[in-house]
Amino acid sequence: MGGTGLLPHVQPLQRGYIRRDNAADLTRASQAQSIQLNPHPDPRSLTAIATHRTARMSDVAKLARVSTMTVSRVLNDSASVTEETRLRVLAAVEQLQYQRNEIARSLREQTSRQIGILIPNLYDPFFATCAHAISVVVKAHAYSMVLSTTDEDPRTEYEQANSMLRRGVDGLVVIPTSSIKGIPSLRDPEFQDLPIVAIDRPVEGSQYDRVLVQNKIGAQLGVDHLIDLGHQRIAFFGLAGPLYTMRMRQQGYRDAMTTAGLRPDIILISDVLRDAQTALRDVLASRHPPTAIFAANNLISRHLLHSLQALGLHPPHPIAMVGFDDFESADLFRPGITVVRQPVESMGRLAGELLFARLAKGGTDTPTKKIMLSVELVVRGSCGTPL
């Protein structure tokens, strides 16, 4: 992460009434006894209070005894003003309950001040946590967000991204689907001027910024842990299809198994619980059933645990288990489930920061940035003791 020269450390914004982090400034402004607003203001400047008319910037300027340009500078943090003047303007803003006209501001700045977020779905905790972490950064920059889901469908992804583009979003953070030949994608020319950051998976074949984790290394960590405990028949349960994360984790599993001189056993299923139940039942009924399972994401882990419980079984007996992705109830099981944990909130936050850093640099002309985050093995009880 230290090599991402484009990335500034995002600090809370310190000035500007419209920005969310100025509650302390406003409180300080309203409580400071030394701040003197205009003792004899033009009556027209108080019309907003008397008639409940929406206050204008000129009303704030008259009450604070400054020019409208000074008010604008304080709200936009665009030029230095004295602390006394800044607090006087903020006190006037509070008294008049002034709200900036964001539509007019957008027209002046030629920006919508909106960020698009595209994720596969909202029911998977991983995707929802990523979206929330991105939204925190978006709000800190006084932007709003447009959120949509793709259902892992590249055509839906293209349609939703195109809709956001027509709405004039300033940038897009996306957990991309796998592209399919013949279906329009985020690599198409209409998106070439839109700053885009991919998270969890790259937009393959593109030069978009991306925030990824060590999928291959993480899978190796989990499988090596099982091998160190003496397991030799370890089954890999992953999602069928060309997803980048599944490919990388499957490769990590293969590498760990072949390095140990063991035979890989790869089982690919859909995201439907019934498929996991059928596959697990078949594996356990085989002539040489595995003694351990590596689940390639938290959805598969949860499906396998449901399936095991339906059979009256629970790791580590008669089968040990490691999952890629932590999940909320993993440590509530007795014993808890050993997992390869991803820094999910950091992924979302860094993706948001990377997008705003790109916007600050002028959009799409700066070099592509790739951030690779580490994972960690969290050992609980689902692997048992050495065989």
How many residues are recorded in the chain?
387
CATH for the 110-212+345-372 domain, from 3.40.50.800, 1.10.3080.10, 3.30.1490.20, 3.40.50.2300 = 3.40.50.2300
Model confidence band, residue 54 (pLDDT cutoffs 50, 70, 90): confident
Contacts of 303 (CB under 8 A, 6+ apart): 273, 276, 277
Find the farthest-apart pair of alpha carbons in the chain and give their distance in angstroms, rounded: 93
Do 110-212+345-372 and 215-343 come out as alike in CATH topology? Answer: yes
pLDDT (0 to 100) of residue 240:
94
Domains in the chain: boundaries: 20-106, 110-212+345-372, 215-343
What average pLDDT score do residues 167-194 get? 91
- List residues bridging with 117 in a β-sheet: 147, 173
Mean pLDDT score of the chain, rounded to an integer?
85
Instruction: List the CATH code of the domain at 20-106.
Output: 1.10.260.40
What average pLDDT score do residues 265-282 get? 96
pLDDT digits (tens, 9 = 90+) for 285-342: 999 999 999 999 999 999 999 999 999 999 998 999 999 999 888 887 889 999 999 9
Residue 114 belongs to what H/E stretch? strand 114-119
CB 372 within 8 A of CB 330: no
Instruction: List the CATH code of the domain at 215-343.
Output: 3.40.50.2300
Q: Name the more confident of 189 and 353.
A: 353
Give the percent of the chain with pLDDT over 70: 82
Task: Tell me the torsion sign for CA atoms 304, 306, 307, 312.
Answer: positive
Q: How far is CA 191 from CA 119, 131, 134, 163, 355, in A?
A: 17, 21, 21, 12, 15
pLDDT (0 to 100) of residue 73:
82
Most confident of 38-42, 128-132, 365-369: 128-132
Cis check for the bond before 318: say yes or no (omega within 30 of 0).
yes
pLDDT (0 to 100) of residue 5:
42
**Residue 193 CA to its chain's centroid (Å):** 22
Residue 163 has pLDDT above 70, yes or no: yes
What average pLDDT score do residues 350-362 get? 93
Considering only CA atoms, give the Rg of the chain: 27
Coil/strand/helix, residue 86: helix
Burial of 39 (0-12, 13-18, 19+ CB in 10 A): exposed
Model confidence band, residue 47 (pLDDT cutoffs 50, 70, 90): low
- Angle in degrees, 0-180, between the axes of helices 273-284 and 298-310, rounded to the nearest 10: 60
pLDDT digits (tens, 9 = 90+) for 58-115: 888 899 998 888 888 888 776 678 888 988 988 988 888 887 655 445 444 556 899 9
State the pairing for strand pair 338-341/376-378.
antiparallel
Which pTM value belongs to this model? 0.72
Residue 194 has pLDDT above 60, yes or no: yes
Contacts of 317 (CB under 8 A, 6+ apart): 384
Count of CB atoms situated within 10 Å of the CB of 16? 20
State the pairing for strand pair 144-149/171-174.
unpaired
pLDDT digits (tens, 9 = 90+) for 11-45: 333 333 333 334 444 444 444 434 666 665 555 55
pLDDT (0 to 100) of residue 26:
42
pLDDT digits (tens, 9 = 90+) for 242-269: 999 999 999 999 999 999 999 999 999 9
